[in-house]
């Protein structure tokens, strides 16, 4: 572990700086969550609208009480089981949590990342780091340090390089604001893991009804990752079941378009043959597919295809997070 770099990063954070750091999911763009100016800089660098809240990253479960007004029983269970790890919990915020972090809401999202460099930084800094994924608003999240460097260059005060991220997909977000835990964003922690703790019927899905003021809540993008178009590469994507790909490819080629195919390894076995076109492969299993997906989408952008046809992954629960990101990436036009 490069202790000197970590110590320097912690110092910069204390001085109100912005430091990009690796987590097990994707790279984050961190600032002292108690320093409003530093947090505002993160929003500015990312080009993120102020009402989209940030996750506060912590080193230990014990720090959660400094941010959450109340830690419910399911929250305690989930932290004990999955922290540090790719699970973000939304809890009622204490009054002293800067509302610039929470996008003006009275709730706060907390997570302890399971990455040695992130944990070393958090321990050295010994506070909460507000950190969104280290990409421009709406773009694909960074899973390697050079993705961050390419996007932001000298705009960040320091970039800690921890190599490629283990999961390559953002954390699962669970809200504990109403009676039953609610998954707001599928992510790196599988639903099956949540069920082990919360029981088969212990989880709700989707947007939170805002109890205080429903009319305001419907116009408030509480989870920007829930915008239809997000996580989007520059290249237009179309998702089709593998059986539909040959006809669609032929139609686009007939229009004179430059297209490519993004599919799973071995998915064409015994399937109708495709017109000859560039093909990009991803691993066949959900977990390894997720790990490489964002890097592959970035790579595709360099070729400036008119369109990339994506083989629709299986429709089952293990692919939920992948399918969620793919459909948002394709929804941008
Ligand atoms: O894996 C991850 O979660 C990565 C790494 C860096 O930790 N972070 C990440 O942050 O994906 P970001 O900002 O790109 O996405 C955070 C999500 C947003 O969709 C945001 O709306 C949601 O968390 N969020 C944050 N605070 C919230 C709150 N109080 N209520 C509901 N959603 C919240
Ligand atoms: Mg993000």
The ligand with the least distance to the CA atom of 187 is 1
- Please check the confidence at residue 175 and state whether its pLDDT lies above 80: yes
Residue ranges per domain, the chain? 3-205, 237-331
Torsion of CA 107, 26, 325, 138, to 10 degrees: 70
Q: For residues 223 and 211, what is the distance between their CA atoms, to the nearest angstrom?
A: 16
Instruction: State the distance from the centre of ligand 2 to the C-alpha of 226, rounded, in angstroms.
Output: 10
Is 45 close to ligand 1, i.e. is its CB under 6 Å away?
no
- Average pLDDT of the segment spanning 210-215: 36
Q: Lowest mean pLDDT: which of 51-60, 198-207, 249-258?
A: 198-207
Which fold does the domain 237-331 belong to in CATH? Rossmann fold (3.40.50)
pLDDT band at 333 (very low <50, low <70, confident <90, very high): low
- Please check the confidence at residue 253 and state whether its pLDDT lies above 60: yes
- Please check the confidence at residue 218 and state whether its pLDDT lies above 50: no
Question: What angle do helix axes 191-198 and 73-82 make, rounded to 10 degrees?
Answer: 130
- Please check the confidence at residue 156 and state whether its pLDDT lies above 70: yes
Instruction: State the distance from the centre of ligand 2 to the C-alpha of 296, rounded, in angstroms.
Output: 17
Question: What pTM does this model have?
Answer: 0.93
For residue 45, which of 113, 124, 137 has the smallest C-alpha distance? 137
pLDDT the model gives residue 229:
63
CATH class of the 3-205 domain in this structure: alpha beta
pLDDT digits (tens, 9 = 90+) for 4-40: 999 999 999 999 999 999 999 999 999 999 999 999 9
């Amino acid at each position: 572990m490069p202790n000197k770099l970590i110590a320097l990063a912690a110092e910069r954070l204390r001085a109100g700086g912005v430091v990009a750091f690796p987590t097990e999911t994707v790279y984050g763009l961190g600032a002292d969550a108690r320093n409003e100016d530093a947090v505002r800089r993160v929003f500015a660098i990312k080009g993120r609208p102020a009402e989209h809240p940030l996750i506060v990253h912590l080193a230990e479960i014990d720090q959660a009480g400094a941010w959450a007004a109340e830690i419910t029983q399911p929250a305690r269970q989930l932290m004990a089981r999955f922290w540090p790890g790719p699970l973000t919990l939304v809890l009622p915020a204490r009054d002293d949590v800067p509302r610039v972090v929470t996008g003006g809401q009275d709730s706060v999202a907390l997570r302890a990342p399971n990455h040695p460099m992130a944990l070393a930084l958090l321990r050295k800094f010994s506070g909460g780091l507000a950190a969104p994924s280290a990409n421009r608003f709406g773009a694909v999240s960074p899973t390697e340090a050079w993705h961050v460097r390419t996007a932001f260059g000298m705009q960040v005060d320091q970039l800690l390089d921890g190599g490629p991220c283990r999961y390559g997909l953002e954390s699962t977000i669970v809200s504990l604001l109403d009676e039953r835990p609610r998954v707001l964003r599928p992510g790196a922690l599988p639903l099956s893991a949540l069920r082990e703790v919360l029981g088969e019927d212990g989880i709700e899905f989707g947007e939170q009804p805002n109890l205080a003021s429903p009319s305001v809540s419907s116009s408030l993008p509480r989870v920007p990752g829930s915008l239809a178009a997000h996580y989007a590469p520059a290249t237009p994507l179309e998702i089709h079941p593998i059986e539909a790909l040959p006809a669609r490819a032929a139609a686009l080629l007939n229009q004179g378009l430059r297209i490519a195919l993004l599919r799973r390894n071995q998915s064409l076995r015994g399937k109708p043959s495709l017109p000859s076109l560039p093909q990009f492969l991803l691993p066949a299993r959900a977990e390894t597919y997720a790990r490489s997906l964002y890097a592959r989408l970035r790579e595709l952008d360099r070729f400036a295809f008119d369109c990339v046809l994506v083989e629709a992954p299986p429709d089952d629960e293990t692919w939920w997070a992948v399918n969620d990101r793919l459909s948002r990436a394709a929804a941008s036009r």
